[in-house]
Amino acid sequence: MPASLSSFSDQLADAVTRAAGAVVSVHARPRLPSSGVHWRDGVVVTTDGTVRRDQDLSVTLPDGRRSPAQLAGRDPGTDLAVLRIATGELPVATPGDPAGLRPGHLVLAIGRTGDGGPRAAFGAISATGGKWRCWKGGEIDLWIQSDLTIYPGLGGGPLISPDAGVLGINSGGLSRPLATTIPVATVERVLDQILAKGYVARGWLGAAMQPVRISDTTRARAAMTRDGGLVILSVEPDAPAALAGLMVGDVIVAIDGHPVQQSDQVLALLAGDTVGRTLVVELIRGGKPERVEVLVGERPRTRR
């Protein structure tokens, strides 16, 4: 059935043409440039890993013109970086619906490298899922893995559906072995924070903790069902934990109603929009259950 393959082929080429109008080449590292997406007017999103310097940045627009760019901010935790360019130069990307993706859906990766036209790769969604924490520490709203090849220079460019909707930003750095895409929702969330403050604020308690088993006798005495928690090893002076009265030796069993037994569960709870919120911490102190309210602070920037 050559006619249907030809029309499918045309559809893919049309999608590349349409989406590529909002894809730029990002000159922010030696040699091979990376790609970026004109996400809002005058705002380009790319991957943090491909922005190797903070100054002397530029982009190549789809018509081949080179235009200066300034770093608005970066979030290494989600591997995103945001650049500002002149407004009114380009169409902005059309977001698609990554939440509807299922394994088998066909997708394209687009990039732009230097002064040439767009570049493209094709494949299928391999796996999908909900929120996850990537090894760089940030929370990513959807798990989007595909089998396409992120060729050199394609990182920072968009993953698109065959109807040209942008599903997210492809990260070469997070892709091993499958291609990993940072979904639209995460880009929007990080972008809002970077444009407002220049960085992404992460919640902070200022206490070091370690997993601990809760003995049967303690559990019986405290009238608790949970058999594990996190023991506080140290509390930083004037940190939110200290201000709330948390002490070394307290065993935290739940935060904001969520049981915690591993420190990455605490990080996950703090990763969202928690700065400035008061969370109820349930703990065991001296064998007795207690509830303490903690006003979540902002992680000092030197600790990112």
Q: Does 6 bind other proteins (CB under 8 A)?
A: yes
Calpha distance 207→234 (Å, rounded): 6
Identify the H or E element spanning 192: helix 184-197
Count the residues in the chain.
304
Calpha distance 31→33 (Å, rounded): 6
Retrieve residue 152's tokens: 């050199």
What does each C-alpha distance from 68 to 10, 79, 181 come to in angstroms? 34, 22, 26
Least Å distance between CB 48 and other proteins? 19
41-49, 116-124, 190-198, 288-296 -> range binding other proteins (CB under 8 A):
116-124
Q: Is 175 or 265 the residue whose CB approaches other proteins more closely?
A: 175
Tracing tokens 């200290």 back to the chain, one arrives at: 242
Three-class DSSP category at 10: helix
Q: Does 81 bind other proteins (CB under 8 A)?
A: no
Least Å distance between CB 43 and other proteins? 25
> Around Cβ 46, how many Cβ atoms within 10 Å?
31
Q: Does 158 bind other proteins (CB under 8 A)?
A: no
Q: Does 113 bind other proteins (CB under 8 A)?
A: yes
Q: Does 82 bind other proteins (CB under 8 A)?
A: no
Among 70, 87, 149, 278, binds other proteins (CB under 8 A): 149
Q: Does 51 bind other proteins (CB under 8 A)?
A: no
Minimal CA–CA distance to 69: which of 110, 115, 38, 32?
Answer: 38
Query: What character string, x for contact with other proteins (CB under 8 A) and - otherwise, covers 23-42?
Result: --------xxx---------
Residues that bind other proteins (CB under 8 A): 1-2, 4-10, 12-17, 20, 31-33, 108, 113-114, 116-122, 148-149, 151-153
